[in-house]
Amino acid sequence: MKITRKRALKNLSGLATLGFMGLPTVSSGSNEIEALSQRINHSVCEWCFNQFELEELCEFAKNIGISSIDLLTAEQWATAQKYDLTCAMAYGSQMGIINGFSDPQNHKTLLKEYKASFPKAADAGLKNIICFSGNRNGLSDAAGLEICATGLDPVVKLAEKNNVILTMELLNSKVDHQDYLCDHTEWGVALADKLGSPNFKLLYDIYHMQIMEGDVIATIQKRKDYISHYHTAGVPGRNEIDETQELYYPAIMKAIADTGFTGHVAQEFIPKQQDALTSLKKGIEICDI
């Protein structure tokens, strides 16, 4: 069965653990990476490795120097914290990718859900809460921006009150998320400028933006102040970030570190190799510049 983020998001309130036969279990201590450089704070997206129990993934992550598990619900935060891990990008709504701020009918529900989740995240010491534009549904860029800004404004004010950052993810609309509105960096930047709050930022997904616009390093350098978080994956295919794909991640990581970024970079590739955890370890090694 193919693991996809869309599949993982279908039951966001209780992400199911998928059972896969023939994959390795976590062994404590045997997969440690020695002397990480500390220039990059590493995270991993849970949904890409949800063939493992969350506790197994946390144990493995801790052993190899990962300090965060991305995209966890409030019910899962305590499990990560049990292993002294944070959740550098947390869920705060169950509405998902499609049902975002681009549809005025979603605004009331989104406000209610984020109003409930922001204090919980703050109490848990978490900083970044993910949000999505939703689909275009025939809207122009300008009209979509206005509608999103209207819905986001009261939510961002709540983020300011709770000292958390609401972070909108940039996704590609060409391959994975057809019709998604926030599919170019400059549109996200324009939305952030309109909202005018330090508590609204962008999640720059390197995989998605390579597909949509390329020019990854120059964009990171130019728009660093708008970005609170990064995701990785190989292009094409969204698999391992190794020599089989077109992006050279050591150079991208160096560019991120050189901007003074102190947040997290999360591995969000779907493992193609049978030994998924070895692929994760290799991804951390590649990104640990």
Q: What is the pLDDT along the chain (289 residues), one digit of tens a residue?
A: 445 555 454 444 343 333 333 333 444 344 566 678 889 999 999 999 999 999 999 999 999 999 999 999 999 999 999 999 999 999 999 999 999 999 999 999 999 999 999 999 999 999 999 999 999 999 999 999 999 999 999 999 999 999 999 999 999 999 999 999 999 999 999 999 999 999 999 999 999 999 999 999 999 999 999 999 999 999 999 999 999 999 999 999 999 999 999 999 999 999 999 999 999 999 999 999 9
Looking at residue 224, the DSSP 8-state letter turns out to be: G
Q: Rounded to a whole number, what is the largest CA-CA distance in the chain?
A: 53
List the chain domain ranges: 39-287
| Residue-level pLDDT at 32 | 64
Q: Which CATH number fits domain 39-287: 3.40.109.10, 3.20.20.150, 3.40.50.300, 3.40.50.620?
A: 3.20.20.150
